[in-house]
Amino acid sequence: MQIFPRAANTVARATLALAAFLTVGVPTAVAVLQRSSYATGVGVPRQQPIPFSHKHHVSDAGLDCRYCHTSVERSPFAGMPSTDTCMNCHRQLWNESEMLEPVRASYRSGVPIAWTRVYDLPDFVYFDHSIHVAKGVGCSTCHGRVDTMPLTWRATALEMHWCLDCHRHPERHVRPREKVFEMAYEPPPDQLALGTRLVQAYGIQSKTSCSTCHR
C-alpha cells in the first residue's frame, strides 16, 4: 500500500534544493553584491558640478597634490581647494569657458562649489591623513593612480579587512617620505627589506585594536 503520493519525492527534492539555495546561495549572492562596484562604487566615476580632470591637472599641468589639498600633511582631512585656488589659474586660462561658469559663479557669489565626495567613511570610523603621510603611506596606495583619472572614482572600497592588512603588515606598503606624493611610484624589488627599515625608522606601530579607528 502506497502511503505517500508519487509527487512527494519531487516535493522533497525541491524542498531540499530550496533549503540549500537559501542557506548557501542567498548569502553568497549578498556577499558578491556587497563587493561589487554597484555597492562599493569602485571604478565608477562620480558626477561632479564640474567635470574636473585630475589627469589634466596633475599629469598634464604638473600640479602637486598639496596645491589643492593643502591640509593633507597637518590635518586629519586632506582639504578641498577653495574657489580662489581654482581662479588662481582660471582668471587667465579658459576664463570664458562655458564649462567653467560654475567656478566663476562661485567666485562671484562666495558660495563654495558643492563637490560630490568620492570617499566617505562612516561616522564611526576615524581616519587621519596627516599621520599616514608622515609614516610614508603614499596617496596612490589608497586612492590609486588619480593622476591618470579623467574623472575621479574610487580605487578601493576601504573595507576594514583592507585597512587591517596594511596595519598588520606596514612593511609591505610604506615608502620613503619624499616619495609619498609621487603618483607613479612603484615598490622596489626589495620592498620588504626597505619597508622593514622604514617601519623602524619612522616608528610605525602595527595598531589593530578597535579603538585605533573606532573612537
For 54-66, what is each residue's pLDDT tens digit? 999 999 999 999 9
Q: Reply yes or no on whether the pLDDT at 21 is more than 80.
A: no
Q: Judge whether 103 lies within some domain.
A: no
Looking at the domain assignment, is residue 94 inside a domain? Answer: no
Among 14-18, 42-46, 76-80, 185-189, name the one with the lowest average pLDDT: 14-18
Give 42's strand partners.
154
- Is the per-residue pLDDT at 106 higher than 60? yes
Taking the C-alpha atoms of residue 192 and residue 141, their distance in angstroms, rounded to an integer, is: 16
Q: Is residue 200 part of a domain?
A: yes
pLDDT at 41 (0 to 100): 78
| Residue 154: strand pairing partners | 42
**Cα atoms in the 13 Å half-sphere on the side-chain side of 36:** 8
Contact 181, 65 (CB under 8 A): yes
Averaged pLDDT for residues 46-59: 95
What pTM was estimated for this model as a whole? Answer: 0.81
Q: Phi, psi (5° rounding) for residue 42?
A: -65, 125
Tell me what the pLDDT averaged over the chain comes to: 89
How many structural domains does the chain have?
Answer: 2
Relative orientation angle of helices 83-90 and 101-109, to the nearest 10 degrees: 120
149 part of a folded domain: yes
Indicate the pLDDT class of residue 215, thresholds 50, 70 and 90.
confident
Measured CA to CA, the distance from residue 208 to residue 215 in angstroms comes to 13
Is residue 33, in this structure, part of any structural domain at all?
A: yes
Q: What is the extent of the structural domain holding 29?
A: 10-40
Count the Cβ atoms, other than its own, within 10 Å of residue 131: 11
pLDDT per residue as tens digits for the range 113-128: 999 999 999 999 999 9
Separation CA 125–CA 167 (nearest Å): 15
Mean pLDDT of 64-92: 95
- The reply to whether 96 falls in a domain is no
Residue 67: predicted pLDDT: 96
Better-predicted residue by pLDDT, 110 or 37: 110
Listed residue (48, 195, 204, 81) closest to 134, CA to CA: 204
Closest CA to 90 of 78, 73, 107: 107
190 inside domain: yes
Tell me what pLDDT residue 40 has.
75
